[in-house]
Amino acid sequence: MMAAVSLGSYFAFELARQLLEAGRELGVLALFDAEGPAGRRRVQGRARLGAHLGLLRRMGPAYLGHVARHRIETVRNSFERRRLEWTGGGGSLSIEALIAANQQSVERYTPEPLATPLTVFRAGDDLFDSPEALRQGLGWAPVAAAGFELIEVPGSHLSILQEPNVQDLARHMTRIMQRSDPQ
């Protein structure tokens, strides 16, 4: 079994590919709320406004702070990516620079289709995924040669790994691991 969240899913995907190529058994490859190589299409226009309003109703004024922090992180990330390109990545890396370096690596990576089923977990609190994103397994369908299963779990991008949401995730993982166990 192999599992990873977000950008780490690309590292797990490539490791799984290499293990299979070397003749090893894999069992389960679980990807937690990760955008696949085909991209994760987001809702636009009125649907996007509706998603924002739904989250504002759910979270109250705290949602505005969440949006502001996300924008600030986006600007920081953009700055770090440019800095890494200009400097060639030398020197010590901050967490922002590490994330930017990982994103650059993922952008340069062209995954080959994987001959084992993928299990893609989607954060149910994400109201911005388009119907196309769901049909495409958040962008993993083109490299899922043996197919994929998309499972929605409660929580946001990282809170799916925290209490109480992780309990639901654990139930799904148990079921999937039992199903893939050849016994």
The three-state secondary structure class of 37 is coil
Nearest Cα to Cα of residue 94 among 80, 110, 74, 73: 80
Element (H, E) at 62: helix 62-87
- pLDDT at residue 77 in the model: 72
Nearest Cα to Cα of residue 162 among 27, 36, 5: 5
pLDDT tens per residue across all 183 residues of the chain: 899 999 999 999 999 999 999 999 888 899 999 999 999 999 999 998 998 898 889 889 988 888 888 888 878 877 777 777 777 766 666 777 777 888 888 989 999 999 999 999 999 999 999 999 999 999 999 999 999 999 999 999 989 999 999 999 999 999 998 887 655
Q: Which two tokens stand for residue 27?
A: 């069992």
- pLDDT at residue 128 in the model: 94
Q: How many CA atoms lie within 13 A of 159 on its CB side?
A: 9
Q: Which two tokens stand for residue 140?
A: 């993993």
User: Do residues 119 and 149 touch, judged by C-beta distance below 8 A?
Assistant: yes
- pLDDT at residue 119 in the model: 97
3-state SS track over 100-115: HHHHHHHHHCCCCCEC
